[in-house]
Amino acid sequence: MEVFGRFADRVPLARDGSFTLCGTPGETVDLRLTDALGDRIQSETVLLRAGHFLEFHLREPARPAPGPGGPVSAGRLTHRPAKQSRRLFESASRLSAKGELRE
């Protein structure tokens, strides 16, 4: 963990995740939790107060979008594609065969 206030400092974390921070009461510092490579995981600006415990809670990581909602019938999978979709696919196939690839 890094602490940035008047003086930049690295604070070691104990095995249980606790840390000891020395500073001047009333001082505002920026706490930055970093990984072993120094990449920032989370940061928070806090006000130091004498005799108070400071808790730094990690936010939940962003969850990926949910997967499919359940079974899909064979009838739904064998539907005919829309006319415009077929035209776009055929056009892309022709361009690909000619080697004219573009984004």
Written as tens digits, the pLDDT of the chain (103 aa) is: 555 555 557 777 788 877 777 777 787 888 888 777 878 888 888 887 877 777 777 777 767 767 777 787 888 788 888 899 999 999 989 888 888 766 5
Q: How far is CA 70 from the centre of its chain?
A: 27
Q: Specify whether the CB–CB gap between 21 and 4 falls below 8 A.
A: no
pLDDT for 49 equals 80
| Verdict on whether the full-model pTM lies above 0.75 | no
pLDDT for 2 equals 52
pLDDT for 45 equals 84
Q: Specify whether the CB–CB gap between 54 and 21 falls below 8 A.
A: yes
DSSP strand pairing (28-34 vs 40-47): antiparallel
Break the chain into its structural domains and give their ranges: 2-47
From CA 1, how far away is CA 53, in angstroms rounded?
16
